[in-house]
Amino acid sequence: MTTYEAMTYHLETERLLLRPWAVSDAEEFCTLLAERGNGTPEVERIRTSIEEFLTASQSTGIALLPIVRRAEGDFIGYCGLIIGRSTLDEPEIAYELFRHAHGNGYATEAAAAVLGAAAATGRTRLWSTVADWNTPSLRVLDKLGFTRDRVTTEENGEVVWLTRALP
Ligand SMILES: CC(C)(COP(=O)(O)OP(=O)(O)OC[C@H]1O[C@@H](n2cnc3c(N)ncnc32)[C@H](O)[C@@H]1OP(=O)(O)O)[C@@H](O)C(=O)NCCC(=O)NCCS
Residues of the chain with pLDDT > 90: what percent?
Answer: 98
Q: How far is the CA of 106 from the centre of ligand 1 (A)?
A: 9
d(CA 57, CA 62): 5
Nearest to 145 by CA among 116, 121, 103: 116
Q: Which atom of ligand 1 is nearest to the CA of 104?
A: 11
Protein residue whose Cα sits closest to atom 26 of ligand 1: 136
How does pLDDT run across 114-154, given as a tens digit for each residue? 999 999 999 999 999 999 999 999 999 999 999 999 999 99
Best of 69, 139, 142 for a ligand 1 pocket test (most atoms within 8 Å of beta carbon): 139
